[in-house]
Amino acid sequence: MKIKILLLLLFIVNVVKAQITEKITIPSGVVYHYADDKTNEKAKKMLTESLTNTANNDLLGKNLIIGPTLWKRFKNIESLKTIPDSLIFHIDDMEIEGKMAKKLDDSKKIWNEFKKEVSGNYQIRKANEDELKYYWSTISFDIQEPLFILQTENHDYIINFLKEKLKLFWLDEFPNKNAYNNPIDNGTYTTDGAFKKYRNGNEVYMTDKGNKETKLEKVLFLSSEPEIQANSSVEDIQAVIEKTNRIFENLFKNSKKEGKIMVQFELGKKKNDIQYAVKDDLDLEIMKEFEKQVNEEKYPNSKKNTVKFQLIYKVNSYNDTE
């Protein structure tokens, strides 16, 4: 009897272990449902086999959605222009176009174009926090596994299956810009993830041209998040932004010319460095006074190491969309 009970307990433990799935960090506010390992592995196998065998389309059904970031590139592909149904995604208070296939033949067209991009080495993994936050911003339903990121050298694709049917229904790309060419110091800044954009204090994933107006367009941090946390504070950076905004709005609110201003702050322990760059037909006389007043202001120093960030202003101009 003891042997039977022991064997039964071992069987139960093994069953429980088989059902345990890889856990990931879920961002606050995101609703995420796990699938068991067996389901995820089956979907991953279908994905891998379809990528290596051009005739294998077992993972496809009639419906396949191309998310907004991938469609931004794919919409110019000639073979996909005949797919009739478009989608509008509401992201960061903007309307962004996507595409939806409603026929198996159209799903095959999309998948064939996708497979052309995936050549060489790739990795299939679960999504990280930033990728989940972006995907969550594009959808109006709970996230349900199987959900994978297919990572290549240049792209991180979002691939979501319907759990019950194991059919691919969502295909997109994480808007991953991890290099920035700084026109002020001519340096190239890179990050393992993506540079984060902020507007009105909130992180945004998509940008459109917006309105032609005069205001702070965005804040770009060139120091990493740990560096900022260790050497400055939200209050100090906000103080810099508010002081600079006040000067900018006072001087440029009635300007008739168009252009962009980049103000780069490098907060040091003993000394702060401020540099400027302009483009387009900006009023240089006003710009001269702007520099003078900004340079005369007192700004907080860093605690130890320097903290670098940029304020991008637009004057009678649209947003940069890249």
| pLDDT tens sequence across 72-90 | 889 989 999 999 878 887 7
Residue 66 pairs in a beta bridge with 99, 171
152-183 pLDDT, tens digit each = 988 899 999 999 999 999 999 998 765 566 77
Confidence of residue 102 (pLDDT cuts 50, 70, 90): very high
Q: Which helix (H) or strand (E) covers residue 220, if one does?
A: strand 213-221
| Helix/strand/coil for 28 | coil
Pairs from 231-235 (Cβ < 8 Å, separation ≥ 24):
231/267, 231/302, 231/303, 231/304, 231/305, 231/306, 231/307, 232/267, 232/300, 232/302, 232/303, 232/307
Radius of gyration of the chain (CA): 25
At 16 the pLDDT is: 44
Give me the mean pLDDT over the 293-320 stretch.
Answer: 92
Q: Rounded mean pLDDT of 19-26?
A: 76
CATH of 179-317, one of 2.120.10, 3.30.70, 1.20.910, 3.30.500: 3.30.500
Report pLDDT for 54. 77
Q: With 50 as the cut, is the pLDDT of residue 20 above it?
A: yes
- Quick one: pLDDT at residue 196? 57
pLDDT value at residue 207: 54
Peptide bond into 146 cis (omega under 30): yes
Q: Which of 41-45, 94-98, 236-240, 245-249 has the lowest mean pLDDT?
A: 94-98
Structure tokens at 271: 């000394």
- pLDDT at res. 191: 58
Q: Choose from 7-21, 179-193, 258-272 the range with maximum mean pLDDT.
A: 258-272
Mean pLDDT value across the chain: 85
pLDDT tens track for 186-228? 665 655 555 555 555 566 555 556 778 999 988 888 888 889 9
Q: Encoding tokens for residue 239?
A: 């103080």
Run of H or E including 149: strand 147-151
Output the pLDDT for position 298: 94
Domain ranges of the chain: 2-173, 179-317
Instruction: Give the pLDDT band (50/70/90) at residue 13.
Output: very low
Q: Is the four-CA dihedral 196, 197, 203, 206 of positive or negative sign?
A: negative
So what's the pLDDT on residue 201? 59
Please state, for a pLDDT cut of 90, what percent of the chain lies above it: 61
Q: Which of 68-77, 174-183, 261-270, 296-305 is the least confident region?
A: 174-183
User: In sequence order, what are the residues at sequence separation of 6 or more whose Cβ sits closer than 8 angstroms to the Cβ of residue 54?
Assistant: 112, 115
For residue 294, what are the contacts with CB-CB under 8 A and spacing of at least 6? 243, 244, 247, 263, 274
Cα–Cα distance, 228 to 133 (Å, whole number) = 22
Residues 6+ apart with CB under 8 A from 287: 261, 276, 278
